[in-house]
Amino acid sequence: MFERLQKVMSKYGVASRRKCEEMITAGRVKVNGCTITEQGFKVDKEKDIIEVDGKILNSMDEKLYILLNKPAGYITSVKDQFGRPAVLDLLKGINTRVFPVGRLDYDTEGLLILTNDGDLTYMIAHPKHEINKTYRALIRGKVSHDDIISFKRGMSIEDYTTAPALLEIIRFSKENSVVDITLHEGKNRQVRKMCSEIGHEVIRLRRIRIGELSLGSLKTGEWRYLNKSEIEYLKKLGGC
Ligand code: URA
């Protein structure tokens, strides 16, 4: 399949498409040994050999890193017994098999990373790295100082005690509050259970950050490739 050179480069995680165009114009890119400076040049990534600054981008080890703004009503596993829609259904045009890094509940929205880089998946998901994840939640009721302390101290849920977490009030009305919750653990439905423990039902839950990686302007249901510095940042976070 023929695609624009800058698109293929950005898929490989070289940089954003815009930056790749600049690299092409600057004469830093070769296709099959010839320097290409023309914008709109098309390549077949299965067959053509693309070099950037003398380094070959090899489709055999093509690693894809995707950031999806997950809508509610999608499962993060590949498929389930009830035939519900899966996040992979949202990745139109991706022929490579990618997997979610960690999971979000069926009814949770927001930032989800998907990749075929097994090392990164393992490292990011590993609890020893204590990577902060921030969730914006609409919860029933008003948050008290004691609630904030409970999050900070850790609380008993089922058979475990939660690690210290941050509960920040963003705004509130008579009935509801919008809060940001930051924790580094990722136990099953942990945010919902922690909120329920302090007497606040979660009405809407959206992950807005993993470390410093955020959704930016990505709309619900949209996805994009991570750029090179974001990939490097994630690798560093996971200690790869
Ligand atoms: N905590 C939850 O309760 N649900 C999620 O999807 C993620 C974190």
The pLDDT of residue 59 is above 60: no
| Rg, the chain, Cα only | 21
From the list 89, 105, 119, 159, the catalytic residue is 105
Residues 145 and 205 in one domain: yes
189 Cα nearest atom in ligand 1: 3
Residues 226 and 187 in one domain: no
Residue 158, domain CATH: 3.30.70.1560
The pLDDT of residue 188 is above 60: yes
The pLDDT of residue 149 is above 70: yes
Residues 96 and 149 in one domain: no
Given 12, 32, 56, which residue is the final one in a domain?
A: 56
Determine what percent of the chain is predicted with pLDDT higher than 70: 98
Residues 203 and 222 in one domain: no
Lowest-pLDDT range, 40-49, 169-178, 190-199? 40-49
Alpha carbons within 13 angstroms on the beta-carbon side of residue 171 total 1
Average pLDDT over residues 100-122: 92
Q: Is 189 in the pocket of ligand 1 (CB under 6 A)?
A: yes
Residue 80 falls in the annotated catalytic set: no
Per-residue confidence (pLDDT) for residue 125, from 0 to 100: 81
Residue 6 has φ and ψ, to the nearest 5°, of -65, -30
Count the Cβ atoms, other than its own, within 10 Å of residue 196. 14
Contact of 44 with 7, CB cutoff 8 Å: no
Question: Per the structure, how many domains does the chain have?
Answer: 3
Residues 220 and 159 in one domain: no
104 Cα nearest atom in ligand 1: 6
Residues 23 and 92 in one domain: no
Strand partners, 109: 206
Residue 23, domain CATH: 3.10.290.10
Structure-token match 């210290």, residue found? 164
Average pLDDT over residues 126-134: 90
Burial level of 171, CB count in 10 A (0-12/13-18/19+)? exposed
239: CA distance to ligand 1 center in Å? 24
Q: Is 185 in the pocket of ligand 1 (CB under 6 A)?
A: no
Q: Is 197 in the pocket of ligand 1 (CB under 6 A)?
A: no
Closest CA to 48 of 108, 90, 91, 5: 5
SS3 call for 231? helix
- Which one is predicted more confidently, 238 or 6? 6
Domain enclosing residue 154, as ranges: 132-210
Whole-number average pLDDT of the chain: 91
Q: How far is CA 125 from the centre of its chain?
A: 12
The pLDDT of residue 61 is above 70: no
Residues 138 and 206 in one domain: yes
103 Cα nearest atom in ligand 1: 6
Per-residue confidence (pLDDT) for residue 55, from 0 to 100: 78
Per-residue confidence (pLDDT) for residue 15, from 0 to 100: 76
Residues 112 and 80 in one domain: yes
Contact of 70 with 114, CB cutoff 8 Å: no
Per-residue confidence (pLDDT) for residue 60, from 0 to 100: 52
The pLDDT of residue 208 is above 80: yes
- Alpha-helical (H) ranges within 101-165 are 118-125, 145-153
Average pLDDT over residues 202-224: 96
Residue 229, domain CATH: 3.30.70.580
pLDDT grade for 122, boundaries at 50, 70 and 90: confident
Q: Report the alpha-carbon distance of residue 20 to residue 24 in Å, rounded.
A: 6
Residues 40 and 10 in one domain: yes
